[in-house]
């Protein structure tokens, strides 16, 4: 199998799993868990799992990066791709419509392309060399507009759009966090390997979420014995976090930061499919057209990014 084609399939599989996480997280919140609490348990499971992988590999397990600069960059990646991303995304749901959050968070590929263009213009280092070249080509612009238009059709179909400044800004902050994470994570994975790089992200994500947990009331332990609770937590921790973060970081190192992040546009499509299967929701004509537009947009934007 063609290696590049395999990594495209891997990106598609990861985004499919991440699309289901919205339904899984909603189920846990409805059961009584706090968003920050869900993140803590999710990343603790993932961090434990990745240490098991590290210890079963042959050779000495590396604890620290090669330089202080790289270690500080992993702190930044743990915040932008871990604690700050999930905190802003989940908190936004308390202040604005879920459709608003999904739409704004999925603007991350657009910000990634802009940040890559600016970074390459301003810097000449190993990260700039690893970033995909971004131009003002019509395919990238058209693909982006088609994907954004498709998301608008899917997410706001039959809904009255309500603007909440606090919630919408938090959702936009989550998109910015993921775009910043996407700038550097691919190169760090290439240099340090998927296991080490992902372990660092989990570690610093956990450390930087702790201040936000002070003073919070945690769910009673009896709640975690419910099959629907521990089942969804295992799915989020071991599959959506451990397996998918490792796979995604590998994809970014092989396909490039822009081509890979364009797959994020497909998140609402898989969320809709999972909601139909798990929650019994129905696909509307606007949702079908929106899904097709998103898929076409991803294809066009991906061709321009290559």
How do the domains of the chain map onto residue ranges?
Answer: 3-131+160-256
For residue 172, give the nearest of 95, 273, 260 by alpha carbon.
Answer: 95
- Higher pLDDT: 220 or 189? It is 189
From 123-132, 148-157, 181-190, 202-211, the region with the lowest mean pLDDT: 148-157
How many residues appear in the chain?
A: 306
CB 38 within 8 A of CB 233: yes
| Dist. CA 244–CA 77, nearest whole Å | 16
Rounded to whole angstroms, how far apart are CA atoms 5 and 52?
Answer: 30
Interatomic CA distance for residues 159 and 163, integer angstroms: 12
Distance CA 100, CA 151 (A): 10
Supply the mean pLDDT for the chain.
81
Rg over alpha carbons for the chain, rounded to the nearest Å, is 19
* pLDDT tier at 283, thresholds 50, 70, 90: low
For the chain, percent of residues with pLDDT exceeding 90: 28
Interacting residues of 288 by C-beta distance below 8 A, sequence separation 6+: none
Q: What is the mean pLDDT of residues 192-219?
A: 88
Residue 49 makes CB contacts below 8 A (sequence gap 6+) with 237, 238, 242
Could you tell me the sign of the dihedral formed by the alpha carbons of 182, 9, 247, 153, in that order?
positive
Nearest C-alpha neighbor of 244 from the set 2, 6, 5, 19: 19
Among all chains, which residue has been given the structure tokens 């090669």?
66
Q: What is the pLDDT of residue 1?
A: 54
| Percentage of residues in the chain having pLDDT higher than 70 | 80
Q: How far apart are the first and last CA of the chain?
A: 19
Closest CA to 42 of 269, 277, 243: 243
Distances from the Cα of 154 to the Cαs of 39, 149, 285, in angstroms?
A: 27, 9, 9
Kindly tell me if the per-residue pLDDT of 137 is higher than 70. Answer: no
Residues 14-49 have pLDDT tens digits of 988 888 887 787 788 888 888 788 889 999 999 999
Three-state SS at 299: helix
Is the CB of residue 112 less than 8 Å from the CB of residue 182?
A: yes
Across the range 85-102, mean pLDDT stands at: 74
- Give CA–CA dist 58/40, Å, rounded: 29
What's the pTM?
Answer: 0.81
Which residues neighbour 38 within 8 Å (Cβ) at sequence distance 6 or greater?
25, 28, 29, 90, 233, 236
Q: Which of 147-156, 238-247, 258-267 has the least mean pLDDT?
A: 147-156
What six digits make up the tokens of 286?
């606007």
Per-residue model confidence (pLDDT) at position 282: 65
């Amino acid at each position: 199998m063609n290696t590049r084609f395999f990594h495209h399939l891997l990106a598609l599989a990861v985004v499919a799993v991440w699309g289901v996480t919205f339904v899984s997280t909603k189920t846990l919140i409805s059961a009584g868990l706090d968003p920050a609490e869900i993140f803590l348990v999710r990343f603790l499971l993932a961090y434990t799992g990745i240490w098991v992988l590290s210890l079963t590999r042959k050779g000495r397990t590396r604890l620290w990066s090669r330089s202080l600069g790289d270690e500080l960059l992993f702190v930044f990646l743990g915040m932008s791709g871990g604690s700050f991303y999930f905190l802003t995304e989940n908190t936004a749901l308390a202040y604005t419509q879920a459709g608003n959050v999904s739409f704004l968070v999925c603007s991350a590929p657009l910000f990634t392309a802009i940040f890559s263009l600016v970074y390459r213009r301003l810097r000449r280092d190993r990260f700039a060399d690893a970033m995909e070249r971004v131009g003002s080509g019509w395919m990238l612009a058209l693909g982006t507009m088609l994907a954004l238009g498709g998301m608008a059709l899917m997410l706001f179909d039959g809904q009255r759009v309500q603007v909440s400044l606090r919630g919408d800004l938090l959702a936009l902050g989550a998109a910015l966090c993921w775009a910043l994470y996407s700038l550097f994570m691919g190169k760090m994975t290439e240099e340090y390997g998927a296991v080490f790089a992902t372990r660092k992200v989990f570690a610093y994500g956990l450390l930087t979420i702790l201040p936000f947990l002070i003073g919070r009331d945690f769910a009673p332990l009896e709640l975690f014995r419910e099959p629907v609770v521990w089942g969804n937590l295992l799915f989020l921790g071991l599959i959506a976090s451990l397996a998918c973060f490792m796979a995604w970081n590998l994809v970014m190192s092989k396909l490039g930061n822009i081509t890979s992040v364009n797959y994020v546009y497909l998140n609402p499509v898989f969320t809709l499919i999972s909601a139909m299967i798990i929650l019994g929701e129905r696909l509307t004509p606007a949702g079908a057209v929106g899904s097709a537009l998103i898929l076409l947009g991803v294809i066009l934007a991906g061709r321009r990014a290559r």
